[in-house]
Amino acid sequence: MRKKVTKAIFPVAGLGTRFLPATKSVPKEIMTLVDRPLIQYAIDEARAAGIKEFIFVTSRGKGALEDYFDHAPTLEQELRKKGKDELLEVLKDTNMDSGAIAYIRQHKALGLGHAVWCARRLVGNEPFAVILPDDVIAAEKPCLQQMVEAYNETGGNVVATMEVPPEKASSYGVLDVQEDMGHVVKVKGMVEKPPVGKAPSNLAVIGRYILNPSVLRSLNQMKSGAGGEIQLTDAIASEINGEHGVYGYRFRGQRFDCGSKSGFLQATVAFGLARDELRDDLLAYIRDVVHLDRAAE
Ligand code: G1P
């Protein structure tokens, strides 16, 4: 029997400079798609995949995240007094069992690999998931759940992947494929942010991982890689010839890059359209805008 994946790391230490001035005082993970913060989508996905322990790797200025997942007695009391049961229900998703959530600080911005390494003692010696909240994935079956199912078959290390246009590959970790089995690919190499034209394939790594704890041991070496940062991609790549192996998993779903303004806006529209109470109004507005745009051409 494979050990169950019950712990997930959420690297949330980034400064979010692409969203300044908003992120001067609001962690970017608290920015909302419709009415739910980015981090809520990540937590919902983790819960659906059976995750029970949530490890946040934070930095200075991320206090709002801790408050968000705390109980809010005054607010709850007020809502109860006013009989606003539906709002109390909405708040339930923000509550964590005592001890289910842990915060650890990354004191220096040394890269994603370093952020994950900071959580090593909390992970211990079991497989764990990593979720990058910037990558929001709309899917019928949540992406991490799909991956856990794949992992139950493959074991080893599983990274989410999707095809990207060749000119975009240099913004991602990219897989070198040994064997393509459809949804699952066996990986023989991984490169973080390859120079333009040098990517080994157009299969990009997307921010969902299920990893063997031996990845943490290779992170111990603190080797810096692309951009002078300690890269998670490099640590996973060092597993390829080890006992566990690395697999890419082509998930079913639509991924939004909410680390970019354009991706964030697209996700806002997509999640807005998915809400019954907003769909008609939003659609009418989008039709108007497109119509005006065409008329101006
Ligand atoms: C990180 C990873 C990269 C991955 C990407 C997915 O990069 O290092 O391998 O492809 O997330 O979003 P970042 O976007 O943080 O530069």
Give the residue, out of 131, 132, 255, with the most ligand 1 atoms within 8 A of its beta carbon, to mutate for a pocket test: 132
Query: Considering the domain boundaries, does residue 269 fall inside one?
Result: no
Q: CA separation (Å) from 26 to 15, 95, 134?
A: 10, 20, 15
What is the mean pLDDT of the segment spanning 244-259?
96
| DSSP tag of 170 | G
Is pTM beyond 0.85 here?
Answer: yes
Query: Considering the domain boundaries, does residue 273 fall inside one?
Result: no
Q: Is the CB of 205 under 6 A from ligand 1?
A: yes
Distance CA 214, CA 159 (A): 15
User: Do 196 and 170 meet the contact criterion of CB atoms below 8 Å apart?
Assistant: yes
Query: Considering the domain boundaries, does residue 185 fall inside one?
Result: yes
What is the mean pLDDT of the segment spanning 231-254?
94
pLDDT grade for 221, boundaries at 50, 70 and 90? confident
- Cα radius of gyration (the chain): 20
Assess whether pLDDT exceeds 90 at residue 113. yes
Assess whether pLDDT exceeds 90 at residue 245. yes
Q: Is the CB of 206 under 6 A from ligand 1?
A: yes
* Residue range 41-50, pLDDT digits in tens: 999 999 999 9
Closest ligand 1 atom to residue 204 Cα is 10
What is the mean pLDDT of the segment spanning 271-296?
91
Ligand 1 centre distance from Cα of residue 180 (Å): 22
Residue 189 Cα to chain centre, angstroms? 22
Which H helix or E strand runs over 150? helix 143-154
Q: Is the CB of 12 under 6 A from ligand 1?
A: no
The rounded percent of the chain whose pLDDT value lies above 70 is 100
Number of domains composing the chain? 1
Q: Is the CB of 13 under 6 A from ligand 1?
A: no
Closest ligand 1 atom to residue 233 Cα is 9
Secondary structure class of 183 (helix, strand, coil): coil
Query: Considering the domain boundaries, does residue 117 fall inside one?
Result: yes
Q: Is the CB of 172 under 6 A from ligand 1?
A: yes
- What's the CATH number where 251 sits? 3.90.550.10
Query: Considering the domain boundaries, does residue 73 fall inside one?
Result: yes
Structure tokens belonging to residue 229: 């940062």
CA 252-257-258 angle, to 5 degrees, is 125
User: Do 29 and 43 meet the contact criterion of CB atoms below 8 Å apart?
Assistant: no
User: Do 247 and 222 meet the contact criterion of CB atoms below 8 Å apart?
Assistant: no
Ligand 1 centre distance from Cα of residue 259 (Å): 10
Q: Is the CB of 176 under 6 A from ligand 1?
A: no
Question: Could you tell me the residue range of the domain that residue 24 belongs to?
Answer: 7-259
Give the residue, out of 18, 143, 175, 205, with the most ligand 1 atoms within 8 A of its beta carbon, to mutate for a pocket test: 205
* Residue range 46-76, pLDDT digits in tens: 999 999 999 999 999 899 999 999 989 999 9
Rounded to the nearest integer, the mean pLDDT of the chain is 94
| DSSP tag of 202 | S
Q: Is the CB of 234 under 6 A from ligand 1?
A: no
Phi (first) and psi of residue 97, to 5 degrees: -60, 150
Which H helix or E strand runs over 248? strand 246-250
What is the mean pLDDT of the segment spanning 190-205?
95
Query: Considering the domain boundaries, does residue 268 fall inside one?
Result: no
Ligand 1 centre distance from Cα of residue 172 (Å): 5
| DSSP tag of 17 | G
Query: Considering the domain boundaries, does residue 265 fall inside one?
Result: no
Query: Considering the domain boundaries, does residue 106 fall inside one?
Result: yes
